[in-house]
Amino acid sequence: MTVTVRFAPSPTGRIHIGNARTALFNWLFALKHGGRFVQRFDDTDLERSRQEYADSILYDLHWLGIFPDQTEYQSRRFSSYDAAVEKLKAAGLLYPCYETSEELELRRKVRRTRGMPPVYGREALKLTEEERSAHEQEGRRPHWRFLLPNFSSDPFETQRTEVHWNDLVRGEETVDLASLSDPVLVREDGTYLYTLPSVVDDIEMGITHVIRGDDHVTNTGVQIALFKALGAEPPAFGHHNLLTTSSGEGLSKRTGALSIESLRESGIEPMSVASLAVLVGTSENVTAMHDLTELAGKFDPAATSKSAAKFDPDELLVLNRALLHQMPFAEARDRLILLGVNGEKAEPFWTAVRGNLDRLSDAVSWWRVLREGPEAPVEMSDEDREFVGQAFDLLPEEPWDGNVWKDWTAAVRKATGRKGKALFMPLRLAITGLESGPELADLLPLVGREGILARRP
C-alpha cells in the first residue's frame, strides 16, 4: 500500500513553527517512503474556520517546500460523517445523552469525592424511552457518545481494556479504555467534534500513517477503537513532542507568535525554519540543511525525544547566517533582482557580501554602499584623512587583476610606513563608511577606481 500521510490543521489562524514541525514530519516521512501527502483542513467548526486561513496555510506550506498531492476540507464531507454516525447508531455504539455541562460537572465532583475516576458513568444509557422523550419535549437536544469497548457484557462493569500500538516516535504505547469517558462525537446542535470526522477521513483517504503532536496520544486510544467499530484497520501512529519557547510556553495559532508568516517577513529562510522545526528535540544536532532532501536524510521519527522540545528563536538567525554564507549565486539571483541587485557585478557582489548577511535583504544596503558610497559623511582624524588621500594617490590604474588589493596596500605600506589595522581601517571607513564588512580585496573591484577616488575624504 502506498504510504499516505496527512497534515490536518484547523484553519483558525496562521500556522506557527510547531505546526510546521508536524507538517514537515509528515512530508519528510512521505519523501523517504515514496509516499503521498494529503492536506486536510479540519474545518468542522464553521464559526472559527476561515478560507483565508486555509489559503495562507497552503501558502506557508509551499514556502517551506511542501506541495500536497491532495487537498481536502472536512466542511465538504459531512455526508460521509453522517453515514458513519448511522452505522454506529445501528450497531448500538452511539447513544444519546441529555446532560448539561453543569450536571456533568456535578457528577464528576461526586465521583471524585467517592474516590472514583472522574469519567462519565454512562447514566444516559439507563434512560428509558419515556425519559428520553420527556427530555425532548422539554426542548433538550441530545449529544451523542461513542460506547467504548471497555466491558465484556455489562457496560456498567468496565474492565481494564488496553489498546496497544507501536508508535513511530514513542515506541510501545498503551491506553486503557476503562480510564476514559465515552467520547462525545456529535454535539447538541448536530455539529461534529474532531474525533469522528478525523477517523472517517483517515479511512476514506487511505491514510497509512498518522503523524501528529503528542497532545493526541489519548485520542489515539479512542480513535483506534473507532476505526475498529467502523470496520477498518487502524493506520500506524506516531506522536512527536511539541515545541515550546525557551520559557516553556506552548505555541498558539491564535497569538500569531512565531507564525511562519512573521518569520518569512522578518527575513528568515524557509530552510532555517525547516531545519530547526525538524531537528530540535531530536538526537541530531540542529544545523542548517540546504534542502528538504538533505533534511530527510537526517530525519528519523524514532530519534525524537519524548519530552517537550524547548527552542530558542535566536537560533533561526544562526541557521540563516549559515545558509546565506554558503548560498550559491544561482539560488539567490532571482531574489536579488527583485531587490534591485542586477547586472554583471551581481554575482561577484553576492560572493563578496554573503558572508556578512543575517538576512538576504541586508544585501541591499551593501549594494547601495558600493554604488553610492558611505551612507553618512565619514568621521576620521586629520592624520587618517591625510593618510587616505596619500593612499588614494597610489591606487593602481585600471584594468585591475586579482592582486590589486595586495599590490596597492604593499605600495601604501612602503610609502607611509603604516600597516595592519592602522592601514586598512581608514581605507575601509573611507570606502564603506563602516568598521566591518566584506573583505576589502573583494569590494575593491566592485567599487572600481573611479568609485574609490570619488570617496576621497
Smallest separation (angstroms) from ligand GLU to the CB of 234: 13
Our measurement of the distance from residue 381's CA atom to the centroid of its chain's CA atoms, rounded to an integer in Å, reads: 51
Residue 54 binds ligand GLU (CB under 6 A): no
Residue with cell 501527502: 37
Nearer to ligand GLU, 69 or 372 (CB): 69
* Segment contacting ligand GLU by CB under 6 A, of 6-14, 88-96, 363-371, 437-445: 6-14
Grid coordinates representing 385 are 584623512
Grid coordinates representing 417 are 610606513
The CA distances from residue 387 to 391, 394, 415, 427, in Å, are 6, 11, 10, 9
Nearer to ligand GLU, 135 or 240 (CB): 240
Are the CB atoms for 4 and 205 separated by under 8 Å? yes
Residues 82-101 interacting with ligand GLU (rule: CB under 6 A): none
Residues 213-252 interacting with ligand GLU (rule: CB under 6 A): 216
Q: Checking phi first, is residue 147 left (phi over 0); if not, alpha (psi -120 to 50) or beta? A: beta
Smallest separation (angstroms) from ligand GLU to the CB of 74: 9
Nearer to ligand GLU, 161 or 198 (CB): 198
Contacts with ligand GLU: how many residues (CB under 6 A)? 8
Nearer to ligand GLU, 10 or 282 (CB): 10
Residue 10 binds ligand GLU (CB under 6 A): yes
Smallest separation (angstroms) from ligand GLU to the CB of 138: 34
The DSSP string of 127-193 is --HHHHHHHHHTT---EEEE--S-BSS-TTSB---EEEEEETTTEEEEEEGGGSPPPEEE-TTSPBP
Residue 8 binds ligand GLU (CB under 6 A): yes
Smallest separation (angstroms) from ligand GLU to the CB of 10: 5
Smallest separation (angstroms) from ligand GLU to the CB of 8: 4
Alpha helix (H) residue ranges in 256-381: 260-265, 270-279, 292-298, 314-325, 329-338, 346-353, 363-372
Residues 175-214 interacting with ligand GLU (rule: CB under 6 A): 194, 198, 212
Residues 331-360 interacting with ligand GLU (rule: CB under 6 A): none
Nearer to ligand GLU, 95 or 192 (CB): 192
Which member of 9, 11, 13, 35 binds ligand GLU (CB under 6 A)? 9
Nearer to ligand GLU, 13 or 270 (CB): 13
Nearer to ligand GLU, 77 or 413 (CB): 77
Radius of gyration of the chain (CA): 32
Which member of 5, 42, 143, 352 binds ligand GLU (CB under 6 A)? 42
* Segment contacting ligand GLU by CB under 6 A, of 5-13, 60-68, 143-151, 176-184: 5-13
Nearer to ligand GLU, 199 or 447 (CB): 199
Our measurement of the distance from residue 182's CA atom to the centroid of its chain's CA atoms, rounded to an integer in Å, reads: 33
Residues 370-389 interacting with ligand GLU (rule: CB under 6 A): none
Nearer to ligand GLU, 9 or 270 (CB): 9
In sequence order, the β-bridge partners of residue 135 are none
Smallest separation (angstroms) from ligand GLU to the CB of 161: 22
Query: Which is nearest to 329 in space by CA: 316, 342, 314, 312?
Result: 342
Are the CB atoms for 22 and 213 separated by under 8 Å? yes
Nearer to ligand GLU, 21 or 212 (CB): 212
Grid coordinates representing 122 are 454512562
**Can you tell me the distance from the alpha carbon of 99 to that of 108, in angstroms, rounded to the nearest whole number?**
12
Are the CB atoms for 15 and 23 separated by under 8 Å? yes
Residue 77 binds ligand GLU (CB under 6 A): no
Residue 36 binds ligand GLU (CB under 6 A): no
Grid coordinates representing 207 are 491514510
* Segment contacting ligand GLU by CB under 6 A, of 7-15, 306-314, 393-401, 405-413: 7-15
* Segment contacting ligand GLU by CB under 6 A, of 8-16, 156-164, 323-331, 448-456: 8-16
Smallest separation (angstroms) from ligand GLU to the CB of 103: 28
Q: Is the peptide bond before 197 cis (omega within 30 degrees of 0)?
A: no
**Can you tell me the distance from the alpha carbon of 235 to that of 214, in angstroms, rounded to the nearest whole number?**
16
Helix, strand and coil content of the chain, in percent to the nearest 5, comes to 50, 15, 35
- Return residues touching ligand GLU (CB under 6 A): 8-10, 42, 194, 198, 212, 216
